[in-house]
Copies of this chain bind each other. A is one copy, B any other.
């Protein structure tokens, strides 16, 4: 290890002492005070995903083939997910006695400026797809990393080990480890991974069992994209002027830290409790927003049901910020991208409150009943004037 990296890690260790981790300070790593990890990608407030309808068109040519050619395309009455679309994980039956490979991949661009937290978030985000299937244990992770061509050597030497360490620490927290990966150079910094588990069919929950009368539970608040963008605007007066009437700098900083905390949190307990409370299916809320993922989940149901969402738990003040930005985020319409969002779970009505109480007891974080399952044609919608639940930052 070079001396320089020793120093960088020593600083990182310091920042992490106790539970009160200090925020990333570029100058304490000998970087310019204006260094911002989020500047190594230029998404301009968009999510990084290819829009759902475009993706649908692009992969439609392949799906046709699978129906006729792929012997694995139906498995336990479950359509095996298609390229980049559909369910959260791919499930592949194996040659070995009844086992399945459950696997997922995800990668995206820096959305927070703290490299260590960015690594944690990227890892939690990949694992979340497994958790959405009720899988509690991940056997193995790979890390995918692109280092920006625009980073100086010094920036790279500070940032990359911190991202890797964050990713790895999150994997350890999840009881798994990172055993490989790929690193390339790219204009935009990119972080992601692959999570795989081999399990018996009873270890995962096929997310197609919603019945009329179920309720929908969400395990993390919405608004991460709004919070990380608002935080970037603190440096951009022309942007800041658009929202400063509805929000203070302090509010934005709190929301940003709440968002980071939320994105770095694993959905593992949420997955474990799905088994205890007999969940009928779940998905995790990420790039296509609450409604996008709710619609995909609804479309996979065996029964003729539809999802109706009444409540939107949103990180405090972020609903107001979203409104002040016009239609940019589409937060209250359910289209704002989330990163490492909560699980959206269909639970029997009589179990949902106990589920929420249990997760709060175990983790200290709230979950919310946000909607109901009705008879319908496998679609999802948000009611006209949904109730916004303001979720305060912890002090």
Binds B, one of A184-192, A228-236, A320-328: A184-192
CB-CB < 8 A to A139: which residues of B?
A: 92, 94-95, 101
With A5-B60, A81-B180 known as contacts, the answer to whether A144 contacts B105 (CB < 8 A) is yes
Chain B residue nearest to A71 in the complex (CB): B177
Query: Across the interface, do A164 and B198 meet the contact criterion of CB distance under 8 Å?
Result: no
With A49-B183, A142-B103, A183-B55 known as contacts, the answer to whether A165 contacts B92 (CB < 8 A) is no
CB-CB < 8 A to A192: which residues of B?
A: 182
A161 touches B (CB below 8 Å): yes
Interface centre among A83, A95, A156, A190 (most CB of B within 10 A): A83
A90 touches B (CB below 8 Å): yes
Query: Across the interface, do A194 and B48 meet the contact criterion of CB distance under 8 Å?
Result: no
Query: Across the interface, do B57 and A164 meet the contact criterion of CB distance under 8 Å?
Result: no
Query: CB-defined interface of A36-68 with B at 8 Å, one 1/0 digit per residue?
Result: 000000000000111000110111111011100
With A61-B161, A103-B194 known as contacts, the answer to whether A187 contacts B184 (CB < 8 A) is no
A178 touches B (CB below 8 Å): yes
Q: How far is the CB of A80 from chain B (nearest CB, A)?
A: 6
Chain B residue nearest to A88 in the complex (CB): B180
Query: Across the interface, do A142 and B177 meet the contact criterion of CB distance under 8 Å?
Result: no
Cβ < 8 Å to B, chain A residues 63-94 = 64-66, 69-70, 72, 80-84, 89-92, 94
Query: Across the interface, do A58 and B94 meet the contact criterion of CB distance under 8 Å?
Result: no
A9 touches B (CB below 8 Å): yes
Chain B residue nearest to A169 in the complex (CB): B65
Query: Across the interface, do B181 and A105 meet the contact criterion of CB distance under 8 Å?
Result: yes
Query: Across the interface, do B181 and A83 meet the contact criterion of CB distance under 8 Å?
Result: yes
Q: How far is the CB of A67 from chain B (nearest CB, A)?
A: 12
A179 touches B (CB below 8 Å): yes
Cα–Cα distance between A80 and B139 once the two chains are bound (Å): 14
Query: Across the interface, do A165 and B61 meet the contact criterion of CB distance under 8 Å?
Result: yes
Chain B residue nearest to A180 in the complex (CB): B90
CB-CB < 8 A to A219: which residues of B?
A: none
With A49-B184, A182-B107 known as contacts, the answer to whether A70 contacts B177 (CB < 8 A) is yes
Cα–Cα distance between A48 and B144 once the two chains are bound (Å): 14
With A90-B140, A139-B94 known as contacts, the answer to whether A105 contacts B182 (CB < 8 A) is yes
Query: CB-defined interface of A219-263 with B at 8 Å, one 1/0 digit per residue?
Result: 000000000000000000000000000000000000000000000
CB-CB < 8 A to A184: which residues of B?
A: 48-50, 107-108
Cα–Cα distance between A157 and B182 once the two chains are bound (Å): 28
CB-CB < 8 A to A91: which residues of B?
A: 179
A1 touches B (CB below 8 Å): yes
Q: How far is the CB of A299 from chain B (nearest CB, A)?
A: 17
Cα–Cα distance between A92 and B65 once the two chains are bound (Å): 33
Cα–Cα distance between A165 and B94 once the two chains are bound (Å): 24
With A83-B178, A83-B180 known as contacts, the answer to whether A164 contacts B105 (CB < 8 A) is no
A106 touches B (CB below 8 Å): yes
CB-CB < 8 A to A55: which residues of B?
A: 183
- Extra inter-chain contacts (18) besides given A107-B184, A187-B188, CB under 8 Å: A1-B64, A2-B60, A49-B185, A50-B184, A61-B164, A62-B161, A62-B168, A72-B179, A83-B179, A92-B139, A92-B179, A96-B96, A101-B139, A105-B105, A106-B182, A144-B144, A182-B192, A186-B190
Question: Can you give 14 A-B contacts (C-beta < 8 A)?
Answer: A1-B64, A5-B61, A61-B164, A72-B177, A84-B180, A84-B181, A96-B96, A96-B198, A101-B140, A103-B180, A104-B142, A105-B144, A144-B144, A198-B198
